Structure 1
Amino acid sequence: MSGNAGSTTGGAPTPPDPRWASPAARSGVGTGGDRVYYPGLDGLRAVAIALVYCFHDRELDLLERLSQALALPLALLVDPILRLAGLPEISFRMRSLVSPLRENGWIGVNIFFVLSGYLITTLLLRERERFGRVDLRSFWIRRILRIWPLYYLVVLICFVLTPLARAAVGIDPGPWRRLAADRLPAFLAFLGNWSLANGGPVPSDSISVLWSVCVEEQFYLVVPLIVAWSGGRWRVALVAGLMAAAIACRYALADAGYRGAALRYNTLANLDTLLAGVMLALLARGRSGAGPASLWGTRLAVVGGGAAIYSITLGYAEAPWRRAADDVLVWAWAVALVAWAASGRDRTSGFLARPTMVWLGRVSYGLYLYHEIALGLVSWASRALPRSPELGTVAALMGPAATIGLAAASYYGIERPFLRLKARWTRVPSRPVDRREEGSARDVPAGDGTMAVLPEHHPEPSPGGPTAQDEP
């Protein structure tokens, strides 16, 4: 497979438009051009990982303890006002109000998928437009530097260090040796999701969370080829066809009786979610802005979709059509979320670009991969201590604290050195790795409530032009 691909004219690559290139790019340096970055999408990552955390936090149950803590203040301060207004009280309903956040928390992974598809495609489109081709080898090297170090560290922790630690503290390793023999080869090859789909769940949630990374790595083999080897309407038609095929595949699997892991971890059954982000990037390409109607339409889609998802328990229905349709509802809402979060001039999404949210999004890869490890460690420590109500609350709070601590240590101690190496293979600079990089290239502001990728042969990036950021 060739390392480079792009537009062709008579079999030869189309030369890059010099109006796109910065002086560094014109001199052959791989990091030329304006930096393109959406801070709001980092904030959306933080929201997505919070949903996933709540979904997996069943033992410490931070949501339950928060609802109990809020019940009394609400009963004293809010319920009297509601009674005067003739409205129902809410203090005794806190459990039912937070329950959907837990039961539907799995959709956080789907939000990550849509984000990934959008950001990857946006950067690839910008690269092809600026340089006339997509450098496939550089793309895959960047993916290796971003994904592999932390992924293989977690594989080492789960399959090697965990059994050794269990034996060291006098806990029987149990099935870990057999688990390593049966499942480790698949996870080493980024095929762990297929191992889970065909062989069933594993006794370690710390291993199970790796399934989505495997799906994305498989996706990264395909999406640059779509951008590099197809163009225009054919590209949109190809993506639409693949999305339809993925939905049909999910329906066929559910109709054939596949449930649980066999359906959830199947790459083909998740392909339409990833491609929804690709389609968003393709359709946004060439749009320079939007008026108030489009801005309010995005807001309405975010609120309406959120209300629908909050009121329906998703992903558990037996009917095949529901199993096929639930993911469509989720990715449609995720597309609206991405559009909303990326609209830098929409004040309603401004909280996503707050420094704390952006920082959490920056370390979100570690938050995702470490959160089950942190939950396991805190649960084990809490069981080893005398039981008390206060201890349960402390343990519930220690879960996210330990997750953030592990992710921060991992980002600054392990991931960032590899991210710095990406500069050698970067053609369109995106999220800065260090503070000193933040002023090294001009950030392109987002448009008026919409996302747009600048059209080919555009003379200058306009103030309402697009932004993008490093992939997850």
Structure 2
Amino acid sequence: MMAGHKKWSSWARPERNLPAHVPALDGIRGVAVMLVFISHFHWILSKKTGYSQVTPWKFINRTFEAGFLGVDIFFVLSGFLITSLLLKDRANKQPGMVGRFYKRRALRLLPALYALLIVDFFVAWLEHARMDFQWRTTWRALLYLNNWNVVWNFRGSRNDLGHLWSLGIEEQFYIVWPAVVLLMLALKLHHQIIITVLSLAIAAIVVHRINLWNDDIYWLFIYIRTDTRVDSLLVGALFAYVYRHYRVPSQVLNWAATLCFAGLMYIKYELDASPFIMKTGFTVIALLAGIIILAAAEGAWFANRVLISRPLTIIGKVSYGLYLWHLPVFLILGRHVTSGPKPLRILIGIIVASVVTAISWIFIEKPFLNLKNRRYGNVPAIH
């Protein structure tokens, strides 16, 4: 126990802020959104709610089912970046820290979301969809309550916006977390105490999730509820404190990140259909992803040369728009383009989703992002 404490003490360093731009984290964001993107290919092929196999090969189909890993990586990365940003603002003595944070988030997130909701509402009207479902789903999406909308109205929500459940969890976390960070700073808690408290909170959520599973709560509700998934965001916050206060040797981080990547692959191909995922798996995935993110942020992982490649960093920069638009595009195509070879229909889906994402980035997101940076400075991108 003492030896472990001495090891951490030897890695301690003066407080350090996360740089405004870390290309490797853009790359991780790009990987995460692509995992989600390819996991939804089957919606292009069928207008039914059931799963449609994308290829004749089971291994490839299972590779296409890694979206849950992408979501967990997003959660951890968001927790890491939001906490790093808040701590940086505090260290720089920025006035109105919490207000600045919410204004930045609004300028980054709301314009593209509003555009999506307007377009989706118009499509629903053209398709003569159930407009009571549409109204309910739309206003709850506006309030970032879409994950709870599915829980409260499982059969009465519009599927085109179903993927917004994860953004709902993130935004609900964003509402609470800045005040928590501010309180911990006001109390002048030592970072080791904060890391310990975060660890206990994460463990408590794991116990809560296990209890829900043992009580036979429907698996989808465990998957999308805020109280069962916020541990991944807290893991990201924990690693933000580790990054700020400790410098783990590069060789240690390199090996640790490589082993964590292997662990993620093992979970994906060997354990993804087991109760382990719903009970403790999400937290294990988050911890493995957190170590990879820490290594990437430190520039210590050999795979950084891949993460900083131009294709991945570009995808990472537009990941928010790609995440917003890809599933509605796939679902609409699945309903209306019902014939033709599978590869051609998937290719059409990729092209249409990419074009819509580019339009969203150029004409909606980037202008507001530039406005945000002019008013509040260039800060680490959370989405």
TM-score range, shorter chain: 0.7 to 0.9
SS of the counterpart of 1:347?
A: coil
Q: What is the root-mean-square deviation of aligned Cα atoms in Å?
A: 2.8
1:215 matched residue in structure 2: 169
Offset of residue 420 of structure 1? 1.6
Distance 2:303 2:137 in 1: 45
Q: Does 1:42 align with 2:26?
A: yes
Q: Residue deviations 1:274-310, cap 9 Å, x none?
A: 1110011112222245142332222222223323333
Matches within 5 A, 1:13-92: 36-60=20-44
Ranges in structure 1 where 5+ consecutive residues have no aligned partner: 1-19, 21-32, 69-94, 167-172, 431-468
Distance 2:18 2:262 in 1: 33
1:190 matched residue in structure 2: 144
TM-score by length of 1: 0.70
Distance 2:226 2:142 in 1: 17
User: 179, 197, 214: which one pairs with 1:238?
Assistant: 197
Offset of residue 134 of structure 1? 6.5
Offset of residue 35 of structure 1? 5.3
1:97 matched residue in structure 2: 59
User: 263, 279, 298: which one pairs with 2:222?
Assistant: 263
Matches within 5 A, 1:109-188: 109-131=71-93, 135-158=97-120, 160-166=121-127, 173-175=128-130, 177-188=131-142
Change (3 A) 1:359 1:153: same
Q: Which piece of structure 1 moves more, 270-279 or 333-342?
A: 333-342
Change (3 A) 1:253 1:345: closer
TM-score by length of 2: 0.85
SS of the counterpart of 2:337?
A: helix
Instruction: Tell me if the contact between 1:302 and 1:336 (Cα under 8 Å) persists in the aligned partners.
Output: no
Offset of residue 402 of structure 1? 1.5
Offset of residue 234 of structure 1? 3.5
1:302 matched residue in structure 2: 261
Matches within 5 A, 1:449-460: none
Distance 2:174 2:199 in 1: 18
Q: Which piece of structure 1 moves more, 104-113 or 195-204?
A: 195-204
Q: Does 1:106 align with 2:68?
A: yes
Q: Which piece of structure 1 moves more, 137-146 or 124-133?
A: 124-133
User: 342, 345, 352: which one pairs with 1:395?
Assistant: 345
Q: Does 1:418 align with 2:368?
A: yes
Distance 1:236 1:207 in 2: 35
Instruction: Tell me if the contact between 2:134 and 2:157 (Cα under 8 Å) persists in the aligned partners.
Output: no
Q: Which piece of structure 1 moves more, 404-413 or 302-311?
A: 302-311
Ranges in structure 2 where 5+ consecutive residues have no aligned partner: 1-14, 46-51
Change (3 A) 1:282 1:401: same
1:372 matched residue in structure 2: 327
The residue type equivalent to 2:124 in the other structure is P
The residue type equivalent to 1:309 in the other structure is K
Instruction: Tell me if the contact between 1:206 and 1:369 (Cα under 8 Å) persists in the aligned partners.
Output: no
Change (3 A) 1:322 1:193: closer
Offset of residue 247 of structure 1? 1.5
Offset of residue 268 of structure 1? 0.6
The residue type equivalent to 1:44 in the other structure is I
SS of the counterpart of 1:131?
A: coil
Offset of residue 164 of structure 1? 2.4
Change (3 A) 1:35 1:275: closer
Q: Residue deviations 1:345-390, cap 9 Å, x none?
A: 533231111112111110000111111122124334532xxx443x
2:309 matched residue in structure 1: 354
1:92 matched residue in structure 2: none
Q: Which piece of structure 1 moves more, 296-305 or 353-362?
A: 296-305
Q: Does 1:471 align with 2:366?
A: no
Offset of residue 181 of structure 1? 4.2
Greater C-alpha Rg: 1
Which structure 1 residue ranges, 4+ long, deviate > 6 Å from structure 2? none
Change (3 A) 1:134 1:305: farther
Instruction: Tell me if the contact between 2:86 and 2:97 (Cα under 8 Å) persists in the aligned partners.
Output: no
Offset of residue 180 of structure 1? 3.0
2:354 matched residue in structure 1: 404
SS of the counterpart of 1:145?
A: helix
The residue type equivalent to 1:400 in the other structure is I
Instruction: Tell me if the contact between 1:198 and 1:262 (Cα under 8 Å) persists in the aligned partners.
Output: no
Q: Does 1:273 align with 2:223?
A: no
Q: Does 1:329 align with 2:284?
A: yes
Q: Residue deviations 1:390-446, cap 9 Å, x none?
A: xx322111212211211111011001111122135526x33xxxxxxxxxxxxxxxx
The residue type equivalent to 1:239 in the other structure is L
Offset of residue 132 of structure 1? 7.1
Greater helix fraction, Structure 1 or Structure 2: 2
Distance 1:396 1:117 in 2: 33
Distance 1:397 1:218 in 2: 35
The residue type equivalent to 1:125 in the other structure is L
Distance 1:185 1:388 in 2: 36
1:443 matched residue in structure 2: none
Q: Does 1:250 align with 2:200?
A: no
SS of the counterpart of 1:258?
A: coil
Distance 2:85 2:309 in 1: 23
Distance 1:134 1:302 in 2: 39
Offset of residue 120 of structure 1? 0.9
2:271 matched residue in structure 1: 312
Instruction: Tell me if the contact between 2:205 and 2:228 (Cα under 8 Å) persists in the aligned partners.
Output: yes
Distance 1:291 1:364 in 2: 28
Distance 1:161 1:377 in 2: 12
Distance 1:208 1:113 in 2: 17
Instruction: Tell me if the contact between 1:202 and 1:208 (Cα under 8 Å) persists in the aligned partners.
Output: no
Distance 1:188 1:132 in 2: 29
Distance 1:186 1:337 in 2: 34
